[in-house]
Structures are given as structure tokens and as C-alpha cells.
A = this chain, B = another copy of it.
């Protein structure tokens, strides 16, 4: 089960998931200038960030939207970036948030677990229903693949659907979390977590404690650290015995060089330093809680 690989990676390297959500505006001018195309510049930038963080990152998350926005040539960089990470034997989460059913879901599973865009984990959106997950299960059970389903996000608009109070006095996200954990039972790793994990934003302190205890077999992908306002002490509530989740930072790491005067020359080095700082920040808060 792929979740065991991710668990071990967290044991070894800590909780940092480096988000390779590369906006062309993040790329230093000198990198842009020395390349023949925007796409080459993005790939060089990604490659250097990955090389500089390989021993710190438990995994990478690549947000496909940034590449899709550049059309076909952008998706070619997306493909090359996934391949580069996988060739380094690192774990990659494709942040695609697809959500569909039946034959269409089958097509998405094929698109992102095989061929040009093959990755290790996918993020999915459950709104259409959990029958939409079935087409992914053969990959999870037999082909070392994993999923992270949206449970509860930390944006303001999360209240629109996820926070609706149900008749049974629960929140919608909590019903969703329970259902996903149930499906996850079919795909348990030996580490005690399922290869079907959940995306859980790191805000709202009390809820963090409840979610972690209700969904105790669910491995969390936790966005929202740093640039999005989440702190290490919040994040720590979603982790368990020093494992149980990975914490994503994209801009915080990719743009670390902007906090240093003339930092752009050594952007990858500053990304590394920020990843180390973040890793240690989280570990220090874990020691307090666990």
C-alpha cells in the first residue's frame, strides 16, 4: 500500500509536502531570460526546487491548474515535472480535485494513474457522491496508488456547503469524513492508515482535535500552512504520534527567496532553508502535543 511508503517518508523526513504550484510570476527574471521558452524556464525552476528539497520533503504536491492555464505546452511541463519527481523515487500528489462518476471517473483514473500524467496520489472532490470513487479503487488496491478526498477546507466559502448543519446535528463535512473513512477501510496499510486519505485545512482549533480523533485511520493532506495563515501549533493537532499527515506549503517555500535581498540568485537554496525551518517548526510543536 502506497500509504506505507508515505508514512515511512514522513518518519524519515518530517511532514513537509512541497507544493510545486509554479506561477510564472514566481520565476526569477534571470531564469526566465536564460531559457528559450516559458515552459523551459518553469521546468528548470521546478527541477531546482525539487533537487534542493529532496531530503526534506516527505512528498510533493503539484497543482495541475497552474499548468492547465498554459494549455498544451503547460501540461507538457506538468508531465515532465511529475516524471522528474517519480524518477527521483519521491512521492507525488497530483492536486487535480477531479470529481465525476461512472465512465467519466474511470477516464480520470486512467488519465492520472497511468500514462502521461501518472502520479502516486490524486486529490478528488466527493460532491457528486462516493460511487464516483469506485473506478479509482482497483488502482488503490492493486497498483500502489492513493487518494486524498476533500473533507473540509479552510477558505471562507467552506461554510456554504461543508459547514451546513445536518438534521442529526453534525456538519456536512463530518458526514463526508465518516463515509470516506468507511471506504478507506478496504485499503488499509500496515502503518494503521488507509491509502484513501482526506484533505483537511488547518484552521479552527477545536475542530482539529475532533476531526483527528473521529477520523483516526485517515491520513491527512493539510493545506493552509504559512502563506495561508495556518501555524505549526494548529497543524500539530491534525497529526498523530508524529505522523498521520503531511502539511503542504507552496508559496511559502517557492517564494522564500523574495524575503532576502537579492535572494533570486539562490532561490532554490532559500526554498530549502524554508522547508527545513517549516519541518522543524512543526516537529517542535508535535513534541509539545504528543
Q: Do B128 and A156 touch (CB < 8 A)?
A: no
Q: Do B103 and A100 touch (CB < 8 A)?
A: no
Q: Do A160 and B130 touch (CB < 8 A)?
A: yes
* CB proximity of A247 to chain B, nearest CB, Å: 18
22 sampled A-B residue pairs with Cβ under 8 A: A65-B104, A68-B107, A69-B111, A70-B111, A70-B115, A72-B72, A75-B75, A97-B98, A98-B98, A99-B99, A101-B155, A126-B160, A127-B150, A127-B161, A128-B150, A129-B161, A131-B160, A160-B176, A160-B179, A164-B167, A165-B167, A167-B169
Q: A69 is contacted by which of B107, B125, B150 (Cβ under 8 Å)?
A: B107
Tell me which residues across on chain B come within 8 A of A101, comparing CB atoms: 153, 155, 157
Q: CA separation between A158 and B65, bound complex, in Å? A: 26
Tell me which residues across on chain B come within 8 A of A120, comparing CB atoms: none
Is the CB of A35 closer than 8 A to any CB of chain B? no
Is the CB of A4 closer than 8 A to any CB of chain B? no
Q: Which of the four size classes fits the interface of chain A?
A: 35 or more
Interface string of A115-146 (1 = CB under 8 A from B): 11100000001111111100000000000000
Is the CB of A84 closer than 8 A to any CB of chain B? no
Q: A157 is contacted by which of B69, B108, B128, B162 (Cβ under 8 Å)?
A: B128
User: Which A residues are within 8 Å of any B CB, using their own CB?
Assistant: 21, 23, 63, 65-66, 68-72, 75-76, 79, 97-105, 107-108, 110-112, 115-117, 125-132, 150, 153, 155-162, 164-167, 169, 172, 175-176, 179
A65-B111 CB under 8 A given contacts A101-B153, A127-B150:
yes
* CB proximity of A43 to chain B, nearest CB, Å: 15
* CB proximity of A123 to chain B, nearest CB, Å: 10
Tell me which residues across on chain B come within 8 A of A179, comparing CB atoms: 160
* CB proximity of A159 to chain B, nearest CB, Å: 7
* CB proximity of A116 to chain B, nearest CB, Å: 3
Q: Do B131 and A155 touch (CB < 8 A)?
A: yes
Residue of B with least CB distance to A132: B157
Q: Do A111 and B71 touch (CB < 8 A)?
A: yes
Q: Do B116 and A72 touch (CB < 8 A)?
A: yes
Tell me which residues across on chain B come within 8 A of A126, comparing CB atoms: 127, 160-161
A72-B76 CB under 8 A given contacts A97-B99, A99-B127, A104-B21:
yes
Besides A71-B115, A125-B128, A166-B167, 7 new A-B residue pairs in contact (Cβ under 8 A), listed by A number:
A63-B104, A69-B115, A70-B115, A75-B75, A97-B100, A98-B98, A128-B153
